[in-house]
C-alpha cells in the first residue's frame, strides 16, 4: 500500500485547516483557541478554512456542558466548524442510556461532566447511581444528545485524514472500523509505515505534540497540563499552535 509522508503532504489549495486536540471540558481554553484562530483568519484572509475538533469534548474538565453549547453554536453559525466524536463523547451517551458504574464515563471524568449539568453523580451504591443517573438524564438537554449522536467519526481534506484516536494500519481509510477510529492505540502508534494519508489525531496525551512521518498527535493532555494544542495546515505549510493556563495540579 502506497502512502503519504508528512513532509510531502499538502492541504487543499486555498484552504487553511486548524485541527484542535482533545478539549475535555475546558471551555475557557477552547474559546481562547477559537479567538486566536479568528484573529489569524481576519489577518491572513485565507480563501477558505476549516476548524476540526478531534473529539473528547467532555469529561475530566470543569465545563463539558459549556463546551458542547459552544460547539453547537459554532457549527450552527458556520458549517466550516467541524466536530468529530471521541471515545469519551460516546461514553457519555452510553452512560445516559445505561448507567454502568464500571464504564468509561463513571471511571474517567464523568463526575465532572455530570457536575457541569448541576448533578452530583452517585457511584457508591445502586440506589444513588440510579437516582443521580435519572437526574442527569433530565438535566442534559435533548439538543446536546442529538449533537453528540450526530458527530462523524472522521474527516478528510487533501493529504490528511482526521479522527480521534487513529486508524487500523493497512485497512483502507473508507473501511475503518468506527471503534478503531475512537479507541485504537498500540497498533496505530507503533506502526512504522505510511498510511494513504497523514493521520491527524488525539486520544493519547503527550507532553508535546508528536509529529511523525505518518501521523500528528495534538493531544497535549489539557486536563492535567493546561495546554490545548492545534495543528495548522495551509497548502504545504504546517505548524503547531497552543493556548495554555497555569496549572496548580491535576484535575
Here the CATH number for the domain that contains residue 12 is 3.60.21.10
Backbone angles phi, psi at 197, to 5 degrees: -140, 160
Q: What average pLDDT is seen over the chain?
A: 96
- Residue 1's pLDDT band, with cuts at 50, 70 and 90, is low
Is the residue at 146 inside a domain? no
Is the residue at 98 inside a domain? no
3-state secondary structure of 156: strand
Residue 251 pLDDT greater than 90, yes or no: no
Residue 223 pLDDT greater than 90, yes or no: yes
| Cα gap 66→50, rounded to integer Å | 21
* Mean pLDDT across 203-228: 97
Is the residue at 106 inside a domain? no
Is the residue at 125 inside a domain? no
* Mean pLDDT across 126-134: 96
Domain that holds residue 65: 6-93+151-244
Residue 250 pLDDT greater than 50, yes or no: no
- Residue 145's pLDDT band, with cuts at 50, 70 and 90, is very high
Is the residue at 161 inside a domain? yes
Residue 247 pLDDT greater than 70, yes or no: no
The one-character DSSP state at 153 is: S
| Cα gap 25→41, rounded to integer Å | 25
The one-character DSSP state at 169 is: T
pLDDT digits over 161-202, tens only? 999 999 999 999 999 999 999 999 999 999 999 999 999 999
Is the residue at 127 inside a domain? no
The residue among 238, 96, 20, 176 whose CA lies nearest residue 188 is 176
Is the residue at 221 inside a domain? yes
- Residue 245's pLDDT band, with cuts at 50, 70 and 90, is confident
* Mean pLDDT across 230-235: 98
Residue 249 pLDDT greater than 90, yes or no: no
* Count of domains for the chain: 1
pLDDT digits over 74-95, tens only? 999 999 999 999 999 999 999 9
Q: Which helix (H) or strand (E) holds 77?
A: helix 64-77
Is the residue at 101 inside a domain? no
**Dihedral sign from CA coordinates of 171, 175, 178, 181:** positive
Residue carrying the nine cell digits 479568528: 38
pTM of the model: 0.95
189 vs 248: which has the higher pLDDT? 189
pLDDT digits over 96-119, tens only? 999 999 999 999 999 999 999 999
- Across-strand partners of 52? 19, 82
Tell me if 54 sits within 8 A of 218, measured CB to CB: yes
Cell digits for 147? 449533537
Amino acid at each position: 500500500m502506497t502512502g503519504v509522508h508528512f513532509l510531502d503532504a499538502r492541504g487543499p489549495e486555498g484552504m487553511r485547516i486548524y485541527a484542535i486536540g482533545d478539549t475535555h471540558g475546558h471551555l475557557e481554553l477552547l474559546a481562547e483557541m477559537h479567538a486566536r484562530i479568528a484573529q489569524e483568519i481576519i489577518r491572513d484572509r485565507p480563501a477558505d478554512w476549516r476548524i476540526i475538533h478531534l473529539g473528547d469534548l467532555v469529561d475530566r474538565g470543569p465545563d463539558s456542558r459549556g463546551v458542547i453549547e459552544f460547539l453547537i453554536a459554532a457549527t450552527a453559525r458556520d458549517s466550516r466548524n467541524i466536530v468529530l466524536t471521541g471515545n469519551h463523547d460516546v461514553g457519555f451517551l452510553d452512560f445516559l442510556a445505561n448507567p454502568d458504574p464500571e464504564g468509561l464515563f463513571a471511571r474517567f471524568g464523568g463526575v465532572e461532566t455530570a457536575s457541569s449539568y448541576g448533578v452530583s453523580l452517585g457511584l457508591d451504591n445502586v440506589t444513588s447511581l440510579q437516582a443521580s443517573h435519572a437526574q442527569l438524564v433530565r438535566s442534559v438537554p435533548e439538543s446536546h444528545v442529538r449533537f453528540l449522536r450526530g458527530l462523524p467519526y472522521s474527516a478528510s481534506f487533501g493529504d490528511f485524514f482526521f479522527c480521534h484516536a487513529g486508524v487500523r494500519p493497512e485497512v483502507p481509510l473508507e473501511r475503518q472500523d468506527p471503534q478503531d477510529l475512537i479507541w485504537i492505540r498500540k497498533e496505530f502508534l507503533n506502526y512504522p509505515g505510511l498510511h494513504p494519508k497523514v493521520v491527524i489525531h488525539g486520544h493519547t496525551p503527550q507532553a508535546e505534540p508528536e509529529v511523525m512521518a505518518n501521523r500528528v498527535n495534538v493531544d497535549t493532555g489539557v486536563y492535567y497540563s493546561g495546554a490545548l494544542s492545534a495543528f495548522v495546515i495551509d497548502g504545504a505549510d504546517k505548524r503547531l499552535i497552543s493556548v495554555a493556563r497555569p496549572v496548580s495540579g491535576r484535575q
